[in-house]
Amino acid sequence: MDNQATPIEMLFEKAEDYTRTTVELAKLNVIDKSADVLSSLLSRLTVIIVVAMFALLINIGLSIWIGELLGKTYYGYFLVASAYFILAIVINSFKDQWIKLPVSNFIITKMLKKR
């Protein structure tokens, strides 16, 4: 008895190999895109944290300086806090334009980027 595969069996084996390879390639593409998006977001988040720390220290110094100019230190803190409250209202009004849309576009661009 000869154990040679028939052409149909060979065709099924090749189709099975092709399917496995295609699924593996899709998995690797998803992993690559996810890693690219996450690393980009993490690097931006790191920069944002450093800038936030800088801004915090500048704001403390600015509050103390304004407070000394106005005669009471806490006046400076009230003035800086009021400015941030107004800024929060403005940002909340335009959050879709300024935050949501650019972040969505960034993620979509990264996910659809060709190598």
CA–CA distance, 17 with 26 (Å, rounded to integer): 14
CA–CA distance, 62 with 51 (Å, rounded to integer): 16
Mean pLDDT across 4-28: 90
Per residue in 34-77, pLDDT (tens digit) is 888 899 889 999 999 999 999 999 999 999 999 999 999 999 99
Count CB neighbours of 73 within 10 A. Answer: 13
Per residue in 65-84, pLDDT (tens digit) is 999 999 999 999 999 999 99
> What percent of the chain has pLDDT above 90?
61
pLDDT at 1 over 60: no
